Amino acid sequence: MNGRYSDLVVKGWWRSSRGDQALWFTFHFEDDRLIHRFHLEGVPAGERVSVFQVNPSTGEWLGLLATETVGQDGWVDLAKPITMRAKEAFVAVPELSSVSSEEGNPN
């Protein structure tokens, strides 16, 4: 993300109504950015990931921005760059078919 460290990436979990858990990564931006790629630590290459716009005030997921495949070392290269304005955010949700839901889970 342009070599800056002022941006915030949050790794989190949620529990579905079925009781299973899923992992997501939230990316918050302090400045306007054109995002060509991003990193998902601990997500193996070949996993599908969905990227959603987030309402910065409420945290509500607004709409699907992209669906991509995680590449080597956890990097996701976007076919079409995503424009993020200052204070905006997006959420990346991997399918995690081969990642344990217990890995990194704070609960």
Q: What is the domain-level CATH number for residue 23?
A: 2.60.40
pLDDT exceeds 70 at position 53: yes
The 10 Å CB-count burial string (b at 16+, else e) for 7-27 is: beeeeeeeeeeeeeeebbbbb
**Count of domains forming the chain:** 1
pLDDT in tens, 5-38: 344 555 554 444 455 566 788 888 888 989 999 9
> Residue 105: inside a domain, yes or no?
no
Over the chain, what is the mean pLDDT? 76
Residue numbers of the domain that contains 64: 8-94
